[in-house]
Structure 1
Amino acid sequence: MRLLTRLIALLAAVSLMAQPATAQSVLRDAETEALLQEMAEPLAQAAGLAPGNIQIVLINDPSINAFVAGGQVVYIHSGLIDAADTANEVQGVIAHEIGHITGGHVIRSGEGFGKAANISILSMVLGVAAALAGAGEAAMGVIAAGQQAAVGSYLSFSRVQESSADAAGAEYLSKAGISGRGSLEFFKKLQNQEFRYGYSQSDEAAFSRTHPLSGDRIARLRETYIVDPAWEAPADATIQQRFERVKAKLFGYLTEPKRTLQQYPASRTDVPARYARAYAYHKNAQIEQALEETSQLLAADPQDPYFLELQGQVLLESGRPGEALEPLRKATELTGNQPLIASIFGHALIATEDPRNFPEAEKVLRLAVARDRYNPFAWYQLGVVYAAEGDMPRARLASAEQQVMSRKYEEALRSAQAAEAGLPTGSPDWIRAQDIGMQARAELERQPKRR
């Protein structure tokens, strides 16, 4: 019954991929999100999607992967950003994933599951019938063959979807005037990884995979790309420069400081290297070295909001919130109150423990959650400032917002009920407290009963 186990495991793995937020950690950074959205926008428009409809979410996972899991959201692993050398490579991946979205592949995955399950069930029924007729060995053979066919059916279905997404991605790159060279380069990276880990490239092995062989994909796509007018289109130099910054930033944030300092030694004085080292020094509690790197970055561009954000973050997290206010206030203003940066600024205002800063903190944080409701950190900080001002019903409501997003449903229900009891009946906040309470209650009812 190993084949049946394999089918069940395969379907379970795919179903888990449909719940990225529960199984994996989302990385949020204002600069990175802005860049990825800008890189995706022309591809989304080429696919006929309304501006702003595609959302790119970065997942903290070192593996080289990207996927969609329903809706118009593309999930990209941090490992993919690290593996890519150019923004063009990442755009090739995004184009492919948009192809899955426009093809309705997540919705249609039920077709593949259903067909495989029907084959599996039929083989088991026939096997049981053979066994009852006294043909025990034949029964096992029928069941084994059926499970083999079920797995093969699903894998074939998956490969067809991947090929369809490849073709759609190539079309969207062409319409957007973006070269497919990056797409091919990234597939070559995947192929090299397959060789490194000893994955067979034989035709027989191809039938046991969810994706077509990388070599086949490269050959097929190259024929499409090289005749495309966009093939010789130059890469966007500004986008590439920003990509190198973001890549170094993520590396410094996620990697052990020792490795970061090896990858970006002090002999390098370019922006990406200083970015990476600032995070490495900060993680190593070498605060003055981290601040020296941020000072050098700001010397190159005093109006860069992300350099200001980094300087403010280092100061705040090293226990100097008063000094962090100026760079964070300026970064917030330069980005038009970007919610993630505004959240850090609000936190710094509260961390000064100066009541005179609380009204500004409330204003900044209210604007932040108005623009990005799915920001647990901002809700938590808003709850802190409400409590400091003595507004406990709204403090509990802010806590409920943060807790329900963090899937702490029992706590969210208690906070929502406490908020509802203290808020004016019929007010927008009172209605919101009721909504959160109902959401938390529904989630608790869906959970398995505790014995």
Structure 2
Amino acid sequence: MRGRPHPLAYLLALLASLIFAAHPAAAQSILRDAETEQLLKDMLAPLVEASELEPGNVEVVLINDGSINAFVAGGQAIYVHSGLIGAADTANEVQGVLAHELGHITAGHAVRFEERTKAANGISILSLLLGVGAVLAGAGDAGLGILAAGQQAAIGSFLSFNRDQEAATDLAGYRYLSGAGISGKGMITFFEKLRGNEIRAGYSQADEAAYSRTHPLTGDRIQVLRGLLESDPAWDTPPDPELQQRFVRAKAKLYGFLAEPPRTLAAYPPSDTSAAARYARAYAYHKDARIDMAIAETDALLAAEPDNPWFLELKGQVLLESGRPREALAPLRRATELTLSHPLIAGLLGHALIATEDPANFAEAEGVLRASVQKDRYNPFAWYQLGVVYEARGDIPRARLASAEVQVMNRQYPQALANAQAAEAYLPYGSPDWIRAQDVALEARAELERVKNRR
């Protein structure tokens, strides 16, 4: 027969759980796609202008996560889950979500979230210390009571703060949609979808359940926002047909990339000859190693829109990844030209040039890859390919600098520091690459010190 656990043991175990809970969640994988990133950027631009933030300073990052979510985690970046794109039916719905998340940025909620978390932890730790004191004094039940009351106060304080933030951000989202002249219908329909999902999942919509939620009751949010948005002059503004077409294509593309081929072909059967369906099927066939069928879909897309850079990129990608890099060069060169050397497409062209294994192509590869990383330094794939070119040419210092760039992004700080220092030692003194090697070494060293201090 087991005896009742000692109250002090319970308190110490809970303290350990609080400490572990403070550790950040594991990083989620980021999806990079030139077309989708440009679409999200264009969706966001009028909202940023209405918010009076600096244009171009807010970015949208696509996360590979099937749940319906978007969030802000510090800085001026909005993280959108792939599941949200899949759940939305219109570009206007996504814009409603972006407007809401933009409100979190303008209000500085990420910073205030950390402050409020510390405040809630302060209540928890204080109650824990008082509870331990009561237990040591011999009043075990009183100690547990103090602990329970403190935890309830901490949780209640935190959740109330979060609900207030969400309600305020809903209103900010309304203002930005209105200021941009964008209808709020999408915001309402997306909230209705969320409410339907909550009901199907068994989450109570009753008022008495509101105190235990991180967000206000969805029904209440809809009621408040509907009253504001329906009276807004932009309510009956028709959606942008071009933006909607781009959204439907990007959504299909994402589905084809992430879903298993049979699911994609069931959702987008061959009888559907729309551009979106062909897009999805091209990815499905490519993943299923049916290369001729994938190329047939891309050729059909290009027959209708021969200068569509995203279709050209897709054809080049399919050819390259199917072991036909020479054939991939023409569509990728054209896509790079049409997008003014978009860093992701230029990086893919550089990879194709290297994959030909023809040294005559390496000078062009170096040029497009350098252009890629100058526009988007946080592109480990392009840095890796650039390192391959440098090594093939015998330029070991720059090859080691490219390796350091990749390693610091992958949080391999000891290796990044070693390669950056080796590159700095042999690069021309004062050159841009020499200065960059110093910067990477400083970044890696600072991260190593931070890890050391945490220990």
Taking structure 1 as the reference length, what is the TM-score of the superposition? 0.94
Deviations 1:367-410 (A, max 9, x none): 11111111111111111111111211111111111111121222
Match of 1:155 among 148, 159, 175: 159
Is the counterpart of residue 45 in structure 1 residue 49 in structure 2? Answer: yes
The CA deviation at 1:116 is 1.7
Moved more, 424-433 or 111-120: 111-120
Is the counterpart of residue 30 in structure 1 residue 34 in structure 2? Answer: yes
2:120 aligns to what SS in structure 1?
helix
Aligned to 1:252: 256
Deviations 1:117-158 (A, max 9, x none): 333234334445555665443332222112111110101011
Aligned to 2:338: 334
Q: Is the 8 A contact 2:11 2:128 kept in 1?
A: no
RMSD: 2.3
Match of 2:141 among 137, 141, 161: 137
The CA deviation at 1:420 is 1.6
Aligned runs of 1:46-445 on 2, under 5 Å?
Answer: 46-128=50-132, 130-131=134-135, 135-445=139-449
2:75 aligns to what SS in structure 1?
coil
Moved more, 300-309 or 433-442: 433-442
Q: In 2, Cα distance between the equivalents of 1:103 and 1:129?
A: 40
Q: In 2, Cα distance between the equivalents of 1:423 and 1:133?
A: 67
Q: In 1, Cα distance between the equivalents of 2:204 and 2:280?
A: 37
Report the CA distance shift for 1:319/1:34 in structure 2 as closer, same or farther (over 3 A): same
The CA deviation at 1:444 is 2.3
Question: 1:169 is matched by which residue type in structure 2?
Answer: G
The CA deviation at 1:432 is 1.5
Q: Is the 8 A contact 1:95 1:170 kept in 2?
A: yes
Q: In 2, Cα distance between the equivalents of 1:108 and 1:134?
A: 39
Q: In 2, Cα distance between the equivalents of 1:118 and 1:209?
A: 21
Q: In 1, Cα distance between the equivalents of 2:317 and 2:240?
A: 30
Report the CA distance shift for 1:407/1:127 in structure 2 as closer, same or farther (over 3 A): closer
Question: 1:429 is matched by which residue type in structure 2?
Answer: D
2:159 aligns to what SS in structure 1?
helix
Q: Is the 8 A contact 1:119 1:147 kept in 2?
A: yes
Report the CA distance shift for 1:439/1:171 in structure 2 as closer, same or farther (over 3 A): same
Moved more, 1-10 or 300-309: 1-10
Moved more, 277-286 or 370-379: 370-379
Q: In 1, Cα distance between the equivalents of 2:128 and 2:303?
A: 71
Q: In 1, Cα distance between the equivalents of 2:62 and 2:12?
A: 34
Question: 2:324 is matched by which residue type in structure 1?
Answer: R
Report the CA distance shift for 1:13/1:164 in structure 2 as closer, same or farther (over 3 A): farther
Q: Is the 8 A contact 2:11 2:132 kept in 1?
A: no
Deviations 1:197-240 (A, max 9, x none): 11111222211111111111111111111111111111101000
Taking structure 2 as the reference length, what is the TM-score of the superposition? 0.93
Q: In 2, Cα distance between the equivalents of 1:13 and 1:309?
A: 43
The CA deviation at 1:262 is 0.3
Q: Is the 8 A contact 1:399 1:415 kept in 2?
A: yes
Q: In 2, Cα distance between the equivalents of 1:130 and 1:399?
A: 57
Q: In 2, Cα distance between the equivalents of 1:16 and 1:406?
A: 17
1:185 aligns to what SS in structure 2?
helix
Moved more, 28-37 or 6-15: 6-15
Report the CA distance shift for 1:140/1:268 in structure 2 as closer, same or farther (over 3 A): same
Q: In 2, Cα distance between the equivalents of 1:390 and 1:165?
A: 55
1:303 aligns to what SS in structure 2?
coil
Deviations 1:178-211 (A, max 9, x none): 1111001111111111112111112222111111
Question: 2:195 is matched by which residue type in structure 1?
Answer: Q
Q: In 2, Cα distance between the equivalents of 1:9 and 1:344?
A: 45
Q: In 1, Cα distance between the equivalents of 2:142 and 2:215?
A: 33
The CA deviation at 1:5 is 8.7
Q: Is the 8 A contact 1:349 1:361 kept in 2?
A: yes
Question: 1:62 is matched by which residue type in structure 2?
Answer: G
The share of aligned pairs that are identical, in percent, is 66
Deviations 1:83-137 (A, max 9, x none): 0000000000000000000011011113322332333234334445555665443
2:62 aligns to what SS in structure 1?
strand
Question: 1:212 is matched by which residue type in structure 2?
Answer: P
Q: Is the 8 A contact 2:78 2:101 kept in 1?
A: yes
1:186 aligns to what SS in structure 2?
helix
Deviations 1:29-71 (A, max 9, x none): 1000000000000001110111111100000111111000111
Is the counterpart of residue 447 in structure 1 residue 451 in structure 2? Answer: yes
Q: In 1, Cα distance between the equivalents of 2:115 and 2:417?
A: 38
Q: Is the 8 A contact 1:3 1:151 kept in 2?
A: no
2:351 aligns to what SS in structure 1?
helix
Question: 2:376 is matched by which residue type in structure 1?
Answer: D
Q: In 2, Cα distance between the equivalents of 1:11 and 1:152?
A: 20
Instruction: Work out the number of aligned pairs and report it.
Output: 447
Q: In 1, Cα distance between the equivalents of 2:257 and 2:360?
A: 33
Aligned to 1:16: 24
1:212 aligns to what SS in structure 2?
coil
